[in-house]
Structure 1
Amino acid sequence: MDAVNSILRFLGILSETKNEDIIKIITVMVDQKITFSNINFDCDLHLGGHQKNIVFQRVRRVFRIGLTNLAIMCIDYPENDILLEYANALFEYKNIHNEIQRIENQNQEKIQISIQHFFDGLLNESMKNS
């Protein structure tokens, strides 16, 4: 979990409100050594359908902050390999590219953040770094 916290801190979302939802989900994944699609939200996190949707909405809001922070870092440091690795592993590079364009007012397209892609990428990155 230290590696997870380090990545979340790097993205600037470790101290965000509602970050505990992310921590709960990734803790289940790490403890059970499972991917996001294998989580039983009802049993593992005691979340029914409606509650799960609310959590996903809160998580997406926090992810959007991380996406924006990472996109800004990519603008400032385009040659940084760690930024590019996180961009692809956590958000998919196309989303970072679209967010950079949005920041630079070239594109107002709404970006779809894949919760599954982020959590699976976070798990993989944290395992690689630990």
Structure 2
Amino acid sequence: MGNSNIYFSDNFFSSGITDIFNERKEQIGSLDLKNAFSSSVDILDSDQNIVVKGFFPFLSRRWQVTDRDKNEIGMLKQRFSFLSKRFFYISQHTGEYEIKSEAFSREYRILDNQNTIIADFKRISSFFEAQDMS
């Protein structure tokens, strides 16, 4: 699958639906940020069907990621680091990925277990751009 870009608006501190676009500015899906006071998000396809859900279970320090049928497919947790932001996503099917960013940076990189960059996220104006590196 070569490099491809997706774009979505930065409204992480509000609620509602945010469209996801491809490079041709075609809507390919949505992020449904349930409300500003809960920690949950649904990722929807272009027909508004849930593809993936993410949420914090009660009294947990990690995101649980499920498919549309509520089967757990992974979890996301933060690892504390002094001058960087580090997260780990552990997939039920494909292993562990590290998501990292330098302190105060607007760019995140996702690395596989061989330390190969598989995706970038960059903030460009008020939009985030995700680039698939595979």
Scaled to the shorter chain, the TM-score interval is: under 0.3
More helix by share: 1
More strand by share: 2
TM-score, reference length from structure 1: 0.25
Q: Which structure carries more relative contact order (alpha carbon 8 Å, separation 6+)?
A: 1
